[in-house]
Amino acid sequence: MEEFIQLKGKDVGPTSVVLAGVHGDERAGIEAFKKILPTLQIEKGQVFFGYGNPRAIASNARFVETNLNRMFKPDFMLSEEEKTSYEYARAQLIKKYLDQSDALLDIHASRTPNSTPFVICESNAKGIVEYLPISLVVSGFDTVEPGGTDYYMNSLGKIGVCVECGYFGDPESSRVAEKSIFAFLKSRGHIANDTTPQRQSYLRMYEIYITKTSSFTLAKSFNDFEEVLAGQIIGIDGKKEIYTEKDGVILFARNRKEIACEAFLLGEKKNSLA
């Protein structure tokens, strides 16, 4: 596997990065690369297409030693164990491509069956995400869950966009990835843009729950973006019941068996991406 592939257009233009396989078992972007890259021609600028975590991709695992999509924080926010991991070294290599680029599209997929595709970004990405074939746009991750590739780009004053393409076991997620890549390239001017902005709805994540014990059990199975009410029990952490404080939606709710794990996120509806 050639880990980074550079495609250049004949005309001057911007530089972008598209990543797949930052989580090795999320195959949507990898399958899209297989279909797109052999015949893709860039008209303007250059685009780096990168395989995020080759060892995890080869093992069809989320990661090898630690979550690569948390390794893009400043070193002082990482543990010594994290800084000796394969994924940390991999992040340093990926940063070299991100540093050269103005915008990023990172392709992911969800572990929640029947998950709705959505875009993760901040307000600086509006001129890109409004062209993506996805109706739900979610912000706030830079604050509640820092350390991803998009977080790193935003920290540099550039544009970071992550697309969650739906359930990672659904073949449709690869088709969403493929369409999203083409829409991204069009919005960036790498190929002719024959699309128009679409109507989208917006959410902002405001809280993440980190486990305090090695036994967190959900009160029920939650769908991504399922509505929750103020005072609703979400789960039990050790012996403590965990409740919501206000109405909203829940995302990535998981049972956990380790201390200091991300158990769920909470968000609320917004009228715009700002």
Sign of CA dihedral 145, 149, 154, 159: negative
What is the strand order of the sheet 240-243 is part of? Answer: 216-218, 233-237, 240-243
Cβ–Cβ < 8 Å for 253, 264: yes
Residue 113's pLDDT is 87
Query: Could you tell me which of 60, 23, 17 has the C-alpha nearest to residue 159?
Result: 17
CA distance 225 to 252: 8
Angle at 34 between CA 2 and CA 58, to 5 degrees: 55
* DSSP-derived pairing of the beta strands 159-167 and 103-110: parallel
CA distance 198 to 95: 31
Cβ–Cβ < 8 Å for 15, 96: no
Residue 2's pLDDT is 74
Q: Please name each of the domains of the chain with its CATH number.
A: 4-187 (3.40.630.10), 202-270 (2.40.50)
Query: Could you tell me which of 77, 154, 69 has the C-alpha nearest to residue 109?
Result: 69
What is the strand order of the sheet 226-228 is part of? Answer: 4-8, 44-51, 11-20, 103-110, 159-167, 118-120, 136-139, 201-210, 262-270, 248-251, 226-228
Cβ–Cβ < 8 Å for 236, 256: no
CA distance 171 to 114: 12
Residue 1's pLDDT is 66
Residue 13's pLDDT is 97
Residue 114's pLDDT is 85
pLDDT per residue rounded down to tens, the chain (274 residues)? 679 999 999 999 999 999 999 999 999 999 999 999 999 999 999 999 999 999 999 999 999 999 999 999 999 999 999 999 999 999 999 999 999 999 999 999 998 888 899 999 999 999 999 999 999 999 999 999 999 999 999 999 999 999 999 999 899 999 999 999 999 999 999 999 988 899 999 999 999 999 999 999 999 999 999 999 999 999 999 999 999 999 999 999 999 999 999 999 999 999 999 7
Cα–Cα distances in Å, from 87 out to 52, 98, 109, 145, 151? 9, 16, 19, 17, 16
**Largest pairwise CA distance in the chain:** 63
Count the Cβ atoms, other than its own, within 10 Å of residue 77.
11
